[in-house]
C-alpha cells in the first residue's frame, strides 16, 4: 500500500495543560494515592519501565521511536497526528496502572510462545484490555500509523477507555506494521477473543471493529473479507465498522454497516473520497453514515476541544442500532 503523508503536529496550549493536566490523575485514581500516579511531567521512559506493566510497557508507545517525540507524557507527539490531549494520555496510563496494580490482566498475547519463536516480530503484538461490564458487547480498536508504527496513545487507547466507561469491553490491538501482517494480527485477535470469550467475560456477538487511518483500513478489510482471508478460520463478521480519516475507496458489496468521520483539512485522507465511499455502500443497500468536520486535520482522535468532540457517541449509537440482541 502506498501513502503520501504531510507532516502533522500535535497542539495543546500551555494554559489548557495547566488547567487540565491533573484531571487525568484525579478521574482515574479518585482518592486512592496508595502509589505514585503518573502526571503530565512523568517521563515516557519511566512509564514504559514501570513494574506494573511488566515486559509489555514498551508496547504502550511506538516500538520504533522515530515516530514519536517528547520526553514526557505532556509533550508526547506522534507522527501524522493532531489534537493530542495530554490529560487523556495521563488518564489512560493511570487507568492501566491502577488495574494492573489491582491484579487485573490488562494485556493479552495473541500468539503462542512457539509462534513467537518462529517469527520474533510477533513479540510486538497483543491486546490491551479496557474492561467494561461483565458479559457486555465487545469492540476492537486499531490505531493508525501508516502501517509503519502503531499510534495507540492517540488512535485506539482513548477510544477504548471511553467505550469501557459506557460499559462495553474494548480491546486495543498492537499489531505488526505492514498492511498484510496488520490484517493477519487483527484476524488472530478476533479468533483469540472468540475462543476465550467465556474466560474473558465478554460477548463477541455483534462485536464492532474500529480504526483510524491505517487502522480504519484494517477494520474495513476484515469487515469485508473476513478472518478466513487472513489466515484464520471463518468467524462472524462485525455488526459495524467505525472508520476515521482514511482514503480507502474500494467497495466490494460485502461491507458491514459502516460509520465514518473525517476533517475537511485532512491532507492525508480526502473527505470527498470518504463521502463517495459511504454513498456507494448505501447504494448497495447497507446502512452507512459519515460525519465531516470543518477545518479539522488528520488524526484528531476523540476530537476533544474541537468541532468533532462527541463523535464517538454518535458512532456508539450507530453500532447499537445494528446489535441483534
- pTM score of the predicted model: 0.89
Ranges of H-type helices in the chain: 14-20, 23-29, 44-48, 86-101, 113-118, 152-155, 157-165, 179-195, 197-200, 214-225, 271-283, 311-321
Residue 185 CA neighbour count, 13 Å, CB half: 30
Would you list the DSSP string of 149-208? S--HHHHTHHHHHHHHHTT-EEEEEE--SSHHHHHHHHHHHHHHHHHTHHHHT-EEEEEE
For residue 171, the cross-strand partners are 129, 140
Q: How far apart are the first and last CA of the chain?
A: 37
Q: How many CB atoms lie within 10 A of CB 213?
A: 29
- Length of the chain, please? 325
Report how far residue 212's alpha carbon sits from residue 231's, in angstroms, rounded to the nearest whole number.
Answer: 23
Q: What DSSP designation does 61 have? A: S
Phi, psi for 93 (deg, rounded to 5): -70, -30
pLDDT at 34: 55
pLDDT at 240: 98
For residue 43, the cross-strand partners are 72
Q: How many CB atoms lie within 10 A of CB 116?
A: 15
pLDDT at 214: 97
For residue 292, the cross-strand partners are 262
Q: Comparing C-alpha atoms, which of 110, 141, 121 is closest to residue 64?
A: 121
Reported as type and span, the H/E element at residue 74 is none
Domains of the chain by range and CATH?
14-321 (3.40.50.1820)
pLDDT at 36: 85
Report how far residue 248's alpha carbon sits from residue 221's, in angstroms, rounded to the nearest whole number.
Answer: 10
Q: Comparing C-alpha atoms, which of 246, 223, 243 is closest to residue 235?
A: 223
pLDDT at 9: 31
Report how far residue 144's alpha carbon sits from residue 123's, in angstroms, rounded to the nearest whole number.
Answer: 19
Q: Decide: 317 and 240 in contact? Cβ < 8 Å.
A: no
Pairing of strands 137-142, 169-174: parallel
- Grouping H, G, I as helix, E, B as strand and the rest as coil, residue 138 is strand
Report how far residue 308's alpha carbon sits from residue 279's, in angstroms, rounded to the nearest whole number.
Answer: 21
pLDDT tens, per residue, the chain with 325 residues: 332 323 333 333 333 333 444 444 444 444 444 568 999 999 999 999 999 999 999 999 999 999 999 999 999 999 999 889 999 999 999 999 999 999 999 999 999 999 999 999 999 999 999 999 999 999 999 999 999 999 999 999 999 999 999 999 999 999 999 999 999 999 999 999 999 999 999 999 999 999 999 999 999 999 999 999 999 999 999 999 999 999 999 999 999 999 999 999 999 999 999 999 999 999 999 999 999 999 999 999 999 999 999 999 999 999 999 999 7
pLDDT at 13: 32
Amino acid at each position: 500500500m502506498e501513502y503520501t503523508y504531510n507532516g502533522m503536529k500535535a497542539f495543546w496550549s500551555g494554559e489548557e495543560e495547566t488547567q487540565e493536566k491533573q484531571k487525568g490523575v484525579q478521574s482515574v485514581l479518585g482518592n486512592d494515592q496508595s502509589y505514585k500516579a503518573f502526571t503530565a511531567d512523568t517521563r515516557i521512559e519511566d512509564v514504559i519501565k514501570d513494574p506494573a506493566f511488566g515486559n509489555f510497557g514498551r508496547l504502550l508507545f511506538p516500538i520504533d521511536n522515530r515516530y514519536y517525540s517528547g520526553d514526557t507524557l505532556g509533550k508526547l507527539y506522534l507522527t501524522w497526528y493532531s489534537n493530542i490531549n495530554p490529560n487523556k494520555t495521563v488518564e489512560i496510563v493511570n487507568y492501566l496502572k491502577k488495574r494492573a496494580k489491582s491484579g487485573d490482566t490488562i494485556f493479552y498475547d495473541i500468539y503462542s510462545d512457539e509462534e513467537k519463536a518462529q517469527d520474533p516480530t510477533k513479540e510486538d503484538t497483543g491486546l490491551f484490555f479496557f474492561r467494561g461490564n461483565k458479559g457486555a458487547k465487545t469492540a476492537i480498536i486499531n490505531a493508525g500509523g501508516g502501517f509503519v508504527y502503531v499510534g495507540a496513545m492517540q488512535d485506539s487507547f482513548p477510544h477504548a477507555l471511553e467505550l469501557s466507561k459506557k460499559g462495553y469491553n474494548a480491546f486495543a490491538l498492537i499489531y505488526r506494521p505492514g498492511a498484510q501482517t496488520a490484517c493477519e494480527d487483527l484476524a488472530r485477535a478476533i479468533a483469540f477473543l472468540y475462543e476465550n470469550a467465556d474466560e474473558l467475560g465478554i460477548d463477541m456477538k455483534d462485536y464492532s471493529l474500529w480504526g483510524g487511518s491505517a487502522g480504519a483500513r484494517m477494520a474495513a478489510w476484515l469487515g469485508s473479507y473476513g478472518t478466513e482471508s487472513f489466515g484464520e478460520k471463518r468467524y462472524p463478521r462485525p455488526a459495524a465498522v467505525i472508520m476515521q480519516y482514511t482514503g480507502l475507496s474500494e467497495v466490494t458489496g460485502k461491507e458491514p454497516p459502516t460509520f465514518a468521520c473525517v476533517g475537511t483539512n485532512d491532507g492525508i485522507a480526502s473527505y470527498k473520497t470518504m463521502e463517495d465511499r459511504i454513498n456507494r455502500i448505501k447504494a448497495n443497500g447497507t446502512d452507512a453514515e459519515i460525519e465531516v468536520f470543518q477545518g479539522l486535520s488528520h488524526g484528531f482522535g476523540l476530537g476533544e476541544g474541537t468541532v468533532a468532540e462527541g463523535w464517538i457517541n454518535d458512532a456508539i449509537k450507530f453500532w447499537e442500532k445494528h446489535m441483534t440482541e
